[in-house]
Amino acid sequence: MGERLAIVIFNLGGPDTQEAVRPFLFNLFNDPNIIGYPQPFRWLLARLISGTRAKKSRALYALLGGGSPLLAETRAQAAALQATLDAKSDTDAKVFVLMRYWHPMAREVVAQVKAFAPNRVVLLPLYPQFSTTTTATTAAAFRNEAKRQKLAAPIDLVCCHPKEEGFVAAVADMVRATYDQDCAVAAQPCHPGAARGLRPRVIFTAHGLPEKIIADGDPYQWQVEKTAKLIAARVDVAGLDWTLAYQSRVGPVKWIGPSLEQEIERAGRDGVPVVVAPITFISEHVETLVELDHEMRLLAETVGVPRFHRVPTVRTNTLYMEALARLALAACGQGTCAGSGARICPANFVKCPLHQPVAAAEGAANI
């Protein structure tokens, strides 16, 4: 009997109606990976935050027709990935969609997977870079529910793919196309010797995290920086002016930086056009369609940035779909592996799922 493979792609999720905004926010902030307070304090804080943020969030989603497009985007990616697998592999594989904080959530997706009766399950994040706040919490929710429903098939997690060739190439191609588009609008050559203000600055943007999460050993920022460097090199523009920034900050705690607002303001002072390129978002949703396309564009106009272009997300890009198919079929069969198979993060990132802590007995023997 051949392998029967369930591939579960997953993302954050988003409210599909205005009424779903507050419960979606509650689910988000009630996650111990997001807010680490013990219960019942986390529950109370999640109730407070979701209540106070709901009105503003509803206004943002209203700009998108009332709800998030993320589920539709992810279902399109599932269909594209399924078609890629069907064309390139003899494996009996079926793609499922899982969301963390809004439907379809773990309970219903595990039931779907169990009905498919696979002999192996691969969890495949639509987060190229690993974080405890994204990939880890979703994988844990699926595994816990799989145990509850007695799903017998072994489960592999492809924890990250920040350096995956198909992902890097797909983003780089779109960055170069948008870069060239800006040069065409300017009706000026964008060669390295072009006058200041003619060559655009590429701002790679990633979702931010509080500094404390990184300080506790989360490898996300390190992986994001690796992705940015690889894409910048792949864009293949001599002397490319580029930088990395973080967006979507909420709350009073200190977040990693620089912020996207700071980099846009710096571009305004320097008088250079900008090409904003998301490298952690692989689907269009509120952070790209509203935060980037509306709020950051308005900021750019306000601070004197001469031109503003935004690179699309990879969505169902063929190179990326082929990369996801390779990752799913090559999953290592050891429970967890990186896109390359081996661990890629330095040893100090103890929240890397491939981290192997020194055993207590071994540590004691070395004292």
Q: What is the CATH number of the domain that holds 46?
A: 3.40.50.1400
Report d(CA 286, CA 313) in Å as an integer. 12
Q: What is the pLDDT of residues 257-290, one digit of tens each?
A: 999 999 999 999 999 999 999 999 999 999 999 9
The predicted-structure confidence for 35-59, as pLDDT tens digits, reads as follows 888 999 899 988 999 999 999 999 9
Q: What's the confidence (pLDDT) of residue 188?
A: 63
Mind listing the pLDDT tens digit for each residue in 154-203? 999 999 999 999 999 999 999 999 999 998 887 666 655 555 557 899 99
In a domain, 366, yes or no: no
Give the orientation angle of helix 137-148 with respect to helix 106-116, to 10 degrees. Answer: 60
Residues 6+ apart with CB under 8 A from 157: 122, 123, 125, 135, 139, 335, 336, 337, 353
pLDDT for 333 equals 81
Q: Are 138 and 281 members of one domain? A: no
In a domain, 298, yes or no: yes
What is the Cα–Cα distance from 208 to 227, expressed in whole angstroms? Answer: 15
Average pLDDT taken over every residue of the chain: 92
156 is a domain residue: yes
Residue 122's pLDDT band (boundaries 50, 70, 90)? very high
Give the global pTM.
0.93
139 and 185 both lie in a single domain = no
Rounded CA separation 129/171 (Å): 14
Within-domain flag for 360: no
Residue 362: the pLDDT is 36
For helices 220-235 and 165-186, angle between their N-to-C axes, nearest 10 degrees: 60
Taking residues 336-343, report their average pLDDT: 89
Q: Which pLDDT belongs to residue 363? A: 34
